Amino acid sequence: MVKKVGVAILGLGVVGGGTYQTLVDHHDFYLKTQRADITVEAVLDKSTERLDVLGIPNEKRAGSIDEIVNNPAVKIVVETIGGVGVAKAFVIAALEHGKTVVTSNKELICKHSHELEAIAKKHGCGLYFEASCVGGVPIIRTLLDGVQANHIQKMMGIVNGTTNYILTKMANEGADYADTLKEAQRLGYAEFDPTNDVEGFDSMYKLSILSSMAFHTKVPHANIYREGISKISGKDIAFGKELGYTLKLLAIGKNTDKGIEVRVHPTFIDDSHPLASVNDSFNAVYLTGDAVDDIMLYGRGAGALPTASAVVSDVIYAATHSEIKYSTFKNTEKADRKTKFVSDFESAYYLRLSVDDVAGVLAQISGVFGKCGISLIEVSQIAHKMNRVYDQNPNRVPLIIITHKTTESRIKKAVEKINALGHGEVKALIRVEK
Ligand code: HSE
């Protein structure tokens, strides 16, 4: 039997517009392949211009959220507005009227999933958010279904296209951050206010959702260590390249014996790691499960049609399944407080120092590392080999150090002590994922 399902879309921007287009263009395809007659019954957007561009007929244009939630033909409400203001109020209104909600809103799910899922359960409707993370890459359903046989031990993701585009350009063209950001803004890759992307907030929201799914416990974003790419220098990307490393903004989640470790920061990975070849605005998530071993999902993390692909996959799921599938982090806020998180995590580190080029300085610096219990893998004055001038002070030279694994607290202590020696300073500290 064909299921007839009416959909409403709130917010007809890039993602909402792509969703409208996909649902309209593929209507007959879903009818044939899914036996679902999915029609857009109503849309809501304050800009009539956007609705005109999409050619949305007048009779489908709602004047308020009330019109949508009180429309009996609407079974599924798609929220593609973004943010946690009006979007949250509209999602709650839809759930309270028994409508299943499909959202692409990572900030909303990251910050309010407990509250929203409780409302959804109370009213017997679904809350789906495949499009909230990594655009068209079906990572949420993979975590919910595909790898559910596993204890997921680790995930590493390039989950933000804007920063990956910037870092790829900096690596390929030897350009500096500020110029590359300007170019990315000119081409429409980076927003006018790029803070959300370049300072790692977008990745942090996504990591909160993905690690909550992977580790079956809510991972509040407040527990995520976050550092963006705005202080990255082209010099470090170039030095890293010489040493066989690629720099990526990684979202890392680990489920360890000591607790859950979650962090977003620029990270050097070996050039041979599959994530090192994820370039430009592409995204990827690399997962390690105890049964499946390593898998990687790769694709477009943003854009109208790739993100609509994820939104519509949820719409089709909701339209064709009578049983509702909720997220796997069902615990309450009270239970969450018992989840242990590791803040003094372990990592290997890359340090770039600018030091006086005189006898005995290296011995003093290595003495500091020794006293702090940090073992070194590599010490290099690679700038000499590269035959470039990297320091404005002609008496100072860059010194690159790679450490074995140590803790955040130890490396920060060592940096403090090196800066106090009076022979130079630590100019860059970048984590290395081995
Ligand atoms: N701004 C995001 C990115 C896309 O650059 O990847 C939406 O999550």
Are 165 and 194 in contact by the 8 Å Cβ rule? The answer is: no
- 302 CA to centre of ligand 1 in angstroms: 6
Q: Is the CB of 211 under 6 A from ligand 1?
A: no
- 307 CA to centre of ligand 1 in angstroms: 10
Ligand 1 atom 2 nearest Cα: 160
Q: Is the CB of 302 under 6 A from ligand 1?
A: yes
Q: Which residues pair with 303 in a beta bridge?
A: none
Looking at residue 332, its pLDDT comes to 63
Ligand 1 atom 8 nearest Cα: 302
Looking at residue 383, its pLDDT comes to 66
CB atoms within 10 A of CB 97: 18
Q: Is 107 left (phi over 0), alpha (psi -120 to 50) or beta?
A: alpha
Average pLDDT per consecutive 10 residues, the chain (434 residues; last block may be shorter): 96 97 98 97 96 97 98 98 97 98 97 93 96 96 94 97 96 95 89 95 97 93 97 95 96 96 98 98 97 97 94 98 81 71 96 92 95 95 63 80 98 98 95 94
- 30 CA to centre of ligand 1 in angstroms: 28
Q: Is the CB of 117 under 6 A from ligand 1?
A: no
Q: Is the CB of 197 under 6 A from ligand 1?
A: yes
Active site residues: 206
Query: Which candidate, 144, 85, 94, places its Cα nearest to that of 120?
Result: 94
Ligand 1 atom 4 nearest Cα: 302
Looking at residue 190, its pLDDT comes to 86
Ligand 1 atom 7 nearest Cα: 302
Looking at residue 405, its pLDDT comes to 98
Q: Is the CB of 160 under 6 A from ligand 1?
A: yes
Rg of the chain over all Cα atoms, to the nearest angstrom: 24
Looking at residue 384, its pLDDT comes to 65
- 161 CA to centre of ligand 1 in angstroms: 6
Q: How many whole angstroms separate alpha carbon 207 and alpha carbon 225?
A: 11
Q: Is the CB of 103 under 6 A from ligand 1?
A: no
Q: How many whole angstroms separate alpha carbon 431 and alpha carbon 401?
A: 12
Looking at residue 385, its pLDDT comes to 63
- 203 CA to centre of ligand 1 in angstroms: 8
Q: Is the CB of 203 under 6 A from ligand 1?
A: no
Looking at residue 191, its pLDDT comes to 87
Nearest atom in ligand 1 to 162's CA: 5
Q: Is the CB of 214 under 6 A from ligand 1?
A: no
